[in-house]
Amino acid sequence: MTTILPIFDPVTSTLTYVVFDPETRDAVVIDPVLDFDPVGSFTDTLRLAELEGFLRARELRVRYVFETHAHADHLSGAQRLKRRFGAKIAIGARITEVQQEFQRLLDLPPSFRADGGQFDHLLCDGERVLAGSIAVDVIATPGHTPACVSLLIGDAVFTGDAVFLEDQGTGRCDFPRGSADELYTSVHERLYGLPDETRVFVGHDYQPNGREQRFETTIGRLKRENVQLRAGTSRDEFVRLREARDATLAAPRLLYQSVQVNLDAGRLPPADAHGVRRLRVPVNLSRPTDDDGTPLDVKHVT
């Protein structure tokens, strides 16, 4: 019987999970967070230190770090866990599609690998991964991104950004190669096909209306109460509402910084000749402008 420890990062509203077997001390970590300050542009390991303290106090053997997808709102702490605990890093096999897309959008250098080779294991739909005594069944749940996977461990499923608590709905689908239609299939036809009593552990809790922080629900409750996608919600209705909602959303605060690191399995960019690590941040990527900042689709008035 596995035990689940949630660790909440209030800065990014992200939930990291440690799943472990108290008898064998085998463990996996899902979606670890590396602290990042975008104003000063520096990293920190406060959240990872909390996680590592728990792992060492319990003398846990971290077999895998699982990323449910390439996150756009926080940097991954996977590399530190790999180096300190010998864990393998795993992500959905369609990560190559996301890598190829952002390699083009961010003009990443030719040295950047877009074949998924930075990760130790690319997860395929229906695959079972054995992490010591812990069996992890992979469910492909694309839509938020092409590479999204949910992880079924016993009677618990970890859904990342595919579906959230019932008062928050589902993940957005407006990132490159995202798809509301795919997400409907992933949630309504795949996750909602699990037994109603299946426990659901979500990737974020944004605490709407200031309620207390939560991290767990059930498939049955989501099917009855999810504000965006219930069991009776039609595909057309969901796609229409999801796309309308996405059109109102601002880009995530750490979109370009986090994606570059997370597509490289949590590695920071290599230091340059001056010993400085640099991230690429495009300007006006979705709204091209002149070099004085004027949108190119706006005519100059004389």
| β-pair type (26-30, 61-66) | parallel
- Residue 66 resides in a domain: yes
- Residue 151 resides in a domain: yes
Q: How many of the other CB atoms lie within 10 Å of CB of 134? A: 19
- Residue 37 resides in a domain: yes
Residue 227 backbone dihedrals phi, psi, to 5 degrees: -70, -15
Q: Name residues of the chain where pLDDT drops below 50.
A: 300-302
- Please identify which residue in the block is written with the tokens 């999801």: 242
Residue-level pLDDT at 281:
87
Beta bridge partners of 139: 150
Chain centre distance of CA 58: 26
Split into its structural domains, the chain has a count of 1
Determine whether 132 is exposed, middle or buried from the number of CB atoms within 10 Å of its CB (0-12, 13-18, 19+): middle
For residue 221, give the nearest of 242, 239, 200 by alpha carbon: 200
- Residue 288 resides in a domain: no
CATH number of the domain to which 160 belongs: 3.60.15.10
Determine whether 282 is exposed, middle or buried from the number of CB atoms within 10 Å of its CB (0-12, 13-18, 19+): exposed
- Residue 30 resides in a domain: yes
Residue-level pLDDT at 298:
58
- Residue 117 resides in a domain: yes
Residue-level pLDDT at 253:
86
- Residue 272 resides in a domain: no
Residue-level pLDDT at 87:
98
Residue-level pLDDT at 301:
43
Q: How many of the other CB atoms lie within 10 Å of CB of 127? A: 16
- Residue 160 resides in a domain: yes
pLDDT tens digit string along 67-110? 999 999 999 999 999 999 999 999 999 999 999 999 999 999 88
Whole-Å CA distances, 76 to 80, 240, 270: 9, 32, 16
